[in-house]
């Protein structure tokens, strides 16, 4: 059986970590190669690690053909979807694979748009091209992770030192922490990665604390609560005096009425006695 290794395809999917490779090797030695290797003609498109271990230990394996691809991009898209369907793939790997899928689909859509007028003239019934993954939300749905994680993975890919990327691939540090450390100069990233998990976590905490301090420095000072305009004292005194005068007048009026009532009562009593 002639099996060809396409180096571009072999390198397209991130290699296994040392622990993952050791676990796969133990499984193959104990149980044999249960899953068939997938070929596109003679080209191996799935099972590169299994193939290498089986050859090393002379373990028997089976192959199956998949001839449904028109070009290598079709193969790459299939490899991406195939790996995304596996539960063992980490969130970081999922994000990387989804971003790679975005690149292929977007490039194809661009080519399709450029050739659209000619295609419309030649065939009005041509099948529509699949929509590109335009937003982080689209990519996140493909990867099965949050859109925030996709943004962090993009930052890691752009600014992280290879040593930091390897640390997050191996699960030594989280995506969130790696994205924070990726804002440091490359030399500091390398130093943190060399220190292992504790050093990486410490570096991430320092970066976050510096970011919080910068945000506090940039935040405008809270404006003092405006005091209510004082009520004029003169007006208040005038109102009090007016009320007092009104009360005094009412009291005097009440006293006069009481005197009048008393006078009338006395007159009635006198007239009654005289009678």
- Residue-wise pLDDT tens for the chain (275 aa)? 789 999 999 988 888 888 889 999 999 999 999 999 999 999 999 999 999 999 999 999 999 999 999 999 999 999 999 999 988 899 999 999 999 999 999 988 888 777 765 555 555 544 445 566 778 999 999 999 999 999 999 999 999 999 999 999 989 999 999 999 999 999 999 999 999 999 999 999 999 999 898 888 887 766 666 655 555 555 555 666 777 777 777 777 777 677 766 666 665 555 554 44
How deeply is 88 buried, as exposed, middle or buried, from its count of CB atoms within 10 A (0-12, 13-18, 19+)? exposed
Number of domains in the chain: 2
Answer with the one of 50, 71, 92 that is the final residue of a domain: 71
Find the domain containing 54 and state its range.
1-71
Asked, for residue 34, whether it belongs to a domain, the answer is yes
Task: Tell me the CA end-to-end span of the chain in Å, nearest whole number.
Answer: 152
Tokens in use for 151? 């943004």
Instruction: Please state the pTM of the whole predicted model.
Output: 0.70
Question: How many residues make up the chain in this entry?
Answer: 275
Tokens in use for 219? 């935040």
CA distance 108 to 56: 39
Alpha helices in 124-232 (DSSP H): 136-143, 147-159, 162-169, 175-181, 186-194, 196-218
Asked, for residue 121, whether it belongs to a domain, the answer is no
109 in Cβ contact with 131 (< 8 Å): yes
Asked, for residue 166, whether it belongs to a domain, the answer is yes
pLDDT of residue 125: 46
Angle at 74 between CA 68 and CA 77, to 5 degrees: 120
pLDDT of residue 111: 85
């Amino acid at each position: 059986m002639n099996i060809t290794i396409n180096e571009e395809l072999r390198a397209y999917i991130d290699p296994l970590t040392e622990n993952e490779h050791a676990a796969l090797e133990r499984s193959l030695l104990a149980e044999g190669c249960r899953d068939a290797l997938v070929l596109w003609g003679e080209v191996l498109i799935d099972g590169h690690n299994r193939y290498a271990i089986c050859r090393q230990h002379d373990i028997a394996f089976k192959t199956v053909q998949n001839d449904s691809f028109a070009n290598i991009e079709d193969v790459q898209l299939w490899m991406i979807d195939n790996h995304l369907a596996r539960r063992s793939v980490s969130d970081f790997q999922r994000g990387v694979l989804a971003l790679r899928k975005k690149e292929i689909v977007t490039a194809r859509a661009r080519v399709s748009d450029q050739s659209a007028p000619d295609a419309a003239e030649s065939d009005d019934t041509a099948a529509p091209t699949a929509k590109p993954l335009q937003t982080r939300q689209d990519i996140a749905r493909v990867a099965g992770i949050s859109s925030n994680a996709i943004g962090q993975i993009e930052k890691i890919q752009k600014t992280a030192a290879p040593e930091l990327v390897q640390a997050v691939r191996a699960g030594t540090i989280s995506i969130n922490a790696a994205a924070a450390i990726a804002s440091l100069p490359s030399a500091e990233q390398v130093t943190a990665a060399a220190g292992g998990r504790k050093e990486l976590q410490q570096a991430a905490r320092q970066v976050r604390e510096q970011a919080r301090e910068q945000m506090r420095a940039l935040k405008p000072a809270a404006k003092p609560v405006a005091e209510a305009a004082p009520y004029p004292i003169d007006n208040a005194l005038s109102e009090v005096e007016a009320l007092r005068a009104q009360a005094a007048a009412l009291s005097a009026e009440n006293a006069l009425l009481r005197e009048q009532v008393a006078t009338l009562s006395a007159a009635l009593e006198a007239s009654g006695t005289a009678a």
